[in-house]
Amino acid sequence: MGIISWIIVGLIAGAVGKMILPGDDPGGFIVTILIGMAGALVGGLLVGLLGGTGVTGFNLWSILVATVGAIVLLAVYQLWRAP
């Protein structure tokens, strides 16, 4: 998958993840993309461990997998930052 596709999937996944799990976390445009891109890696790893296929390109499945990964990353961050 090309870098432009990673950025677009990351942006969508990061934005959806932040809408589902809002909170006091880093929140600029670039950070949202990075969380989504890292979420694609985490989501792909989790789905791969369960026997499925991870991020395969610019399609709905990849966005769903990346969004799940972004939500996991945001949840871990919020738990880590909790007082």
Render pLDDT for 24-41 as a digit per residue (tens, 0 to 9): 666 666 777 778 788 878
Q: What is the DSSP string of the chain?
A: --HHHHHHHHHHHHHHHHHHS--SS--SHHHHHHHHHHHHHHHHHHHHHTTS----SSSHHHHHHHHHHHHHHHHHHHHHH--
Range of the domain at 8: 3-81
Counted domains in the chain: 1
Render pLDDT for 31-78 as a digit per residue (tens, 0 to 9): 777 787 888 788 878 887 888 776 777 788 888 888 888 888 888 877
Q: What is the pTM of this model?
A: 0.77
